[in-house]
Amino acid sequence: MANDPQGDADPGRAPSESPLAPVRSDAFSASCLVCGRYDFAACYDLLRRCRHCGFVTAALFDTPNLRSLYESDYFTGREYLDYRADEPFFRKTFRRRLQALCRRRSTGRLLEIGAAYGFFGDLAARHFAYVGFEVNTEAALYSREQFGLNVYTDDFLEINPARLDGSFDVTVMWDVLEHLARPDLFLHRIGQLSHPGSLLCLTTGDIGSVLARIRGRRWRMIHPPTHLHYFDRRTLTRLLANHGFRVVEVRSEGTARSVRQVIHSIMALGLKRPDLYRRFEKHLSASWGFTLNTFDIMFVVSEKVDKADHEGPC
């Protein structure tokens, strides 16, 4: 059963505005995170789709220890081949995202949830006063030591908000939303730390995209328990609106990747043949890479609206 920060009877509903208070993020919501109903149809063999709003989520019986999923080898073999080695490719993507958001807001305080090794933070800190959150302690330490970034390893929902020293002008979550047990609680907390006009920019997969529909169960983004939620433009827009954010831009996002990472994803993660990847690896230069837009990743910019304009959940 879900833990609702306000003790609300319906954990799937967006909590109403309230003073900042500690909340827990380690349990799933039994009801739909988007519309609050409890009426799901099976979707493939390991997902479920809300019959009312179409939101797709993982059908897990046990809550995994999410924090442990992102420690140790998450960035060095289990999900990413070698995240740090691919720094030039990540920076290329992050530079483009930063340029896109700087066209709307180029100064102030910026909050990043899921800071990884600080490659985006290092770019953003040239324009903004930067605060990051990262659950992988080694990655957080690297970003502090290498780039001097202010990165917390605390649970974002449990940290005392007074430590964050006020509201933020921009919040970014790059490929994070689908990993969270309770993205609704994160959006609620981000809303509390924003002011009217603050931006929330994020990327996540689009299960309504042509590629996702063609690939079905084999779409590369479907891999619980690290990916728990699967949005499309409609369900994401609605979830953001529940928490006071109005979508102002949605487009498909291309991503720069190393050839090594792509081959590793196909062979080691997709085909479950790490032995096959190791045979290929010596023929692949670490500097080889490309940018590809498969039109199944959404880049979303949303804006916090005035409380009076916030219609709340359905």
Nearest approach, Cβ of residue 235 and Zn ion (Å): 8
Considering beta carbons, is residue 56 or 115 the nearer one to Zn ion? 56
Gap between the Cα atoms of 269 and 77, Å rounded: 10
To which residue do tokens 């420690």 refer?
Answer: 71
Q: Where are the beta strands (DSSP E) in 107-165?
A: 109-113, 129-133, 151-152
Least Å distance, CB 264 to Zn ion, is 35
168: enclosing H helix or E strand = strand 168-174
Q: How far is CA 8 from CA 4, 16, 128, in A?
A: 6, 9, 36
Task: Kindly state the smallest distance separating residue 206's Cβ from Zn ion, in Å.
Answer: 17
Closest distance of CB 55 from Zn ion, Å = 5
Q: In Å, how far from its chain's centre is CA 314?
A: 23
CB of 37 to Zn ion, least distance (A): 5
Which residue ranges make up the site for Zn ion (CB under 5 A)?
32, 34-35, 50, 52-53, 55
What separation in angstroms does the CA of 293 have from each of 209, 211, 290? 12, 11, 10
Which tokens in the block code for residue 94?
């992050």
Which residue's CB is nearer to Zn ion, number 247 or number 262?
A: 247
Q: What angle is formed at CA 103 by the lines to CA 101 and CA 104, rounded to 5 degrees?
A: 70
- Comparing CB distances to Zn ion, the nearer of 289 and 313 is 313
Least spacing, CB of residue 237 vs Zn ion, in Å: 13
Q: Which of 198, 174, 215, 189 is nearest to 83 (CA)?
A: 174
